Amino acid sequence: MTAAAPLLDLPQAPVPTGGAAEWFTGQGGARLRAALFASKDPAKVRGSVVLSPGRTEAIEKYFEVVSDLQARGFVVLVHDWRGQGLSHRMLPDRLKGHAEGTQPFLDDYQALLSTFEFRLPKPWIAMGHSMGGCLTALALGHGEHRFSAAILSAPMFGLNTGGRPKAVTRLLAQAMVLLGRGGDYVLGDPGKPFVSDFANNALTHDQSRFDRAFAQITACPDLALGSPTWSWLKFAFQACDWLAKNEAVTQIRIPVIVLGAGAEALVDNAEQAVVTARMAKGHHQMVEGAFHEILMETDVLRAPFWQAFDALASEVAP
């Protein structure tokens, strides 16, 4: 039995029609939030999209994307990963972006699909951004077989460590966790829950979409998330290494479209291309000029994503 959960409704970011949020139970009894949205025309449903946001992102940030998908005839399921949005936070300081390995996320994802499975018309398309794209690929590699296709926006298949050697950064994260400091902020920097300086942001060129996300955090500070912890960084390297090396990735047989951001500053596009090439039907393409958050970019820079999605949807959900 699920219970109703809140959704933030703002004039500049209204809750899409036909939608409601619920609590469901993840690994270890964690209370997690998801929201299900009906298609615009229930008589002509093409299938379902399971949308997984990136690190720091909550369901509300994707209301526009949900509406775009509803208009295309899809039922849409969006969720807050553990540790962000209104889902269970693992540390007393809720602003710490924390993780304890990949398995809790994978178990939570299975719990999500099991909770909503009979309300999601087939075929299913997986959609994920950044960390959400990485975890979606991990789930597919670990044998999740209910999807007919996947499309990933700037997935975290490799980390951009800001010029610091990756091998050293990986070892440092492992050492800090072993020393019992996994819950500390990386480099002691709590960061800001949301960078309010549009001129210096590396996420989007679209100020209206940037301002909309800032308004949501301002209206509901519980949605906010700050810098990652050492344990999160260890998890991120662990996830990327698995995708780069494990033979199970080569057994992902569904079409997987990966769109990289040409002006990327947060993930590694080269490693992204390598992992995509390991998938039997993986296809990697660049959105030249785009910052990391392709789906929050200007209309011109969002267009290649939607062109790719429409082509994929025409193939698996005509």
Share of the chain above pLDDT 70, in %: 99
Residues 162, 269 contacting (CB under 8 angstroms) = no
pTM of the model as a whole: 0.97
pLDDT digits (tens, 9 = 90+) for 156-212: 999 999 889 999 999 999 999 999 999 999 988 787 777 778 999 999 999 999 999
Calculate the alpha carbon distances from 142 to 120, 216, 248, 250, 307 in Å. Answer: 21, 34, 7, 11, 29
Q: Minimal CA–CA distance to 63: which of 223, 301, 284?
A: 223
- List pLDDT tens digits, range 246-272: 999 999 999 999 999 999 999 999 999
Expressed as residue numbers, the domain containing 53 is: 3-316
Domains of the chain: total = 1
Confidence bin at 1 (pLDDT 50/70/90): low
Q: How confident is the model at residue 43 (pLDDT cuts 50, 70, 90)?
A: confident
Check pLDDT > 60 for residue 34.
yes
Among the listed residues 62, 161, 130, 55, the one whose alpha carbon sits nearest the alpha carbon of residue 99:
55
pLDDT tens sequence across 72-122: 999 999 999 999 999 999 999 999 999 999 999 999 999 999 999 999 999
- The CATH number given to whatever domain includes residue 104 is 3.40.50.1820
Instruction: Specify whether the CB–CB gap between 90 and 226 falls below 8 A.
Output: no
Write the CA distances from 313 to 132, 220, 251, 307, integer angstroms.
Answer: 20, 34, 22, 10
CB-count burial class (<10 Å; 0-12, 13-18, 19+) for 75: buried
- 289-299: average pLDDT: 98
3-state secondary structure 20-79: EEEEEECHHHCEEEEEEECCCCHHHCCEEEEEECCCCCCHHHHHHHHHHHHHCCEEEEEE
Task: State the average pLDDT for the chain.
Answer: 96
Residue 69 tokens, joined: 């998908």
